[in-house]
Amino acid sequence: MARVALVEDDDDLRKEILGPGLACYGFEVTTCATAEEFHFKRASQAFDLLVVDINLPDDSGLRIIQGLRGEGSQAGIIALSAMPIESAGLSAYQLGTDLYLMKPVTVGLLASALHAVLRRSWTPRAASAGPAAMAAPATDGWYVSGPMGEVLALTQAERIVVQRLRQGQGNPVDRELLIESLTTDVEDFDPHRIEVLIHRLRRKLTRSERPHLEIVTVRGAGYVLVES
List pLDDT tens digits, range 175-224. Answer: 888 988 888 777 878 888 888 888 888 877 766 444 567 788 888 888 88
Cis status of the peptide bond prior to 84, with omega within 30 of 0: no
Q: How far apart are CA 51 and CA 197, in angstroms?
A: 20
Residue 143: predicted pLDDT = 57
Over the chain (228 residues), the average pLDDT of each successive run of 10 is 93 95 94 96 90 95 92 88 81 87 91 83 33 36 51 74 82 87 81 84 66 76 78
How far CA 24 is from CA of 19, 27, 65, 108, 112, in Å, comes to 9, 7, 26, 10, 13
200 with 95, same domain: the answer is no
Residue 69 belongs to a domain? yes
Q: What is the CATH number of the domain that holds 16?
A: 3.40.50.2300
Which ranges of 78-149 does DSSP label H, i.e. alpha helix? 90-95, 107-119
Residue 227: predicted pLDDT = 66
Q: How far apart are CA 43 and CA 192, in angstroms?
A: 34
Please provide the size of the chain in residues.
Answer: 228
Q: φ, ψ for residue 168 (rounded to 5)?
A: -70, -15
111 with 7, same domain: the answer is yes
**Greatest Cα pair distance in the chain:** 54
How far CA 157 is from CA of 38, 178, 185, 200, in Å, comes to 23, 10, 15, 11
113 with 8, same domain: the answer is yes
112 with 7, same domain: the answer is yes
Residue 120: predicted pLDDT = 65
Q: φ, ψ for residue 110 (rounded to 5)?
A: -65, -40
Residue 206 belongs to a domain? yes
Cβ neighbours of residue 125 under 8 Å, at least 6 residues apart?
134, 136
151 with 110, same domain: the answer is no
Cβ atoms of residues 123 and 138 within 8 Å? no
Domain boundary (63, 87, 119) is at: 119
Residue 122: predicted pLDDT = 39
Cβ neighbours of residue 40 under 8 Å, at least 6 residues apart?
none
Residue 127 belongs to a domain? no
Residue 210: predicted pLDDT = 46
Residue 144: predicted pLDDT = 59
Cβ atoms of residues 12 and 2 within 8 Å? no
* Full residue range of the structural domain in which residue 214 is found: 133-227
Q: φ, ψ for residue 220 (rounded to 5)?
A: 80, -5
101 with 169, same domain: the answer is no
How many domains does the structure of the chain reveal? Answer: 2
218 with 158, same domain: the answer is yes
Residue 23 belongs to a domain? yes
148 with 48, same domain: the answer is no
Domain boundary (93, 119, 145) is at: 119
For residue 3, the cross-strand partners are: 28
Residue 83: predicted pLDDT = 86
Q: How far apart are CA 16 and CA 143, in angstroms?
A: 39
24 with 101, same domain: the answer is yes
Residue 29: predicted pLDDT = 96
Residue 199 belongs to a domain? yes
Residue 128 belongs to a domain? no
Write down the pTM of the prediction.
0.58
